């Protein structure tokens, strides 16, 4: 189903292109470069007197900001698979039931893999049994 209340942004002429470039540059500066610069300054200020840790430049500050931002997004997003602690939505009986189903599925998959492996080996043995190993390769052709 398509949303009917959407807006299309039109860019008309050279002034429109300049305005769009200005908006994109402002967003990049505001959400990427400035926080990266702050991370760089905080890192360099925090480890100014340490001889063991090197100082950071702007690109490294931006990368540090990206790590921080993505980590916070991953930990705070309800749809993300990253989380700490236990999930309180299941009771112990439900967890046991899920574990039993998982073990049964694992046993079934292993059994199917063993059967497939045995079938593959038997087919290989049937094909190889018709070949005489003592016979030279040119004679086999």
pLDDT band at 48 (very low <50, low <70, confident <90, very high): confident
Question: Average pLDDT of 41-61?
Answer: 87
* 76 backbone φψ class: left, alpha, beta (φ>0; ψ -120 to 50): alpha
- What is the rounded distance in angstroms from the CA atom of residue 43 to the CA atom of residue 29? 19
- What is the rounded distance in angstroms from the CA atom of residue 117 to the CA atom of residue 123? 10
Phi, psi of 83 (to 5 degrees): -165, 160
Q: Give the gyration radius of the chain's Cα atoms.
A: 31
| Cβ(40)–Cβ(56) below 8 Å | yes
How confident is the model at residue 75, as a pLDDT?
78
Which of the two residues, 8 and 86, has the higher pLDDT score?
8
Residue 7 has pLDDT above 60, yes or no: yes
Question: Average pLDDT of 92-109?
Answer: 90
How confident is the model at residue 76, as a pLDDT?
77
Phi, psi of 8 (to 5 degrees): -110, 125
How confident is the model at residue 95, as a pLDDT?
82
How confident is the model at residue 64, as a pLDDT?
94
Phi, psi of 56 (to 5 degrees): -105, 145
Which of the two residues, 86 and 35, has the higher pLDDT score?
35
């Amino acid at each position: 189903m398509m949303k009917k209340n959407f807006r299309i942004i039109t860019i008309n002429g050279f002034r429109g292109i300049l305005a769009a470039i200005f908006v994109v540059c402002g967003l990049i500066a505001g959400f990427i470069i400035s926080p990266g610069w702050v991370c760089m300054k905080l890192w360099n200020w925090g480890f100014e007197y340490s001889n063991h840790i090197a100082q950071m430049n702007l690109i490294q500050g931006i990368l540090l900001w990206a790590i921080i931002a993505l980590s916070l997004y991953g930990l705070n997003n309800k749809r993300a698979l990253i989380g700490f602690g236990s999930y309180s939505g299941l009771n112990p009986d439900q967890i046991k039931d899920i574990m039993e189903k998982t073990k049964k599925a694992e046993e079934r998959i292993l059994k199917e893999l063993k059967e497939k492996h045995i079938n593959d080996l038997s087919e290989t043995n049937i094909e190889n049994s018709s070949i005489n190993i003592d016979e030279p390769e040119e004679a086999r052709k």
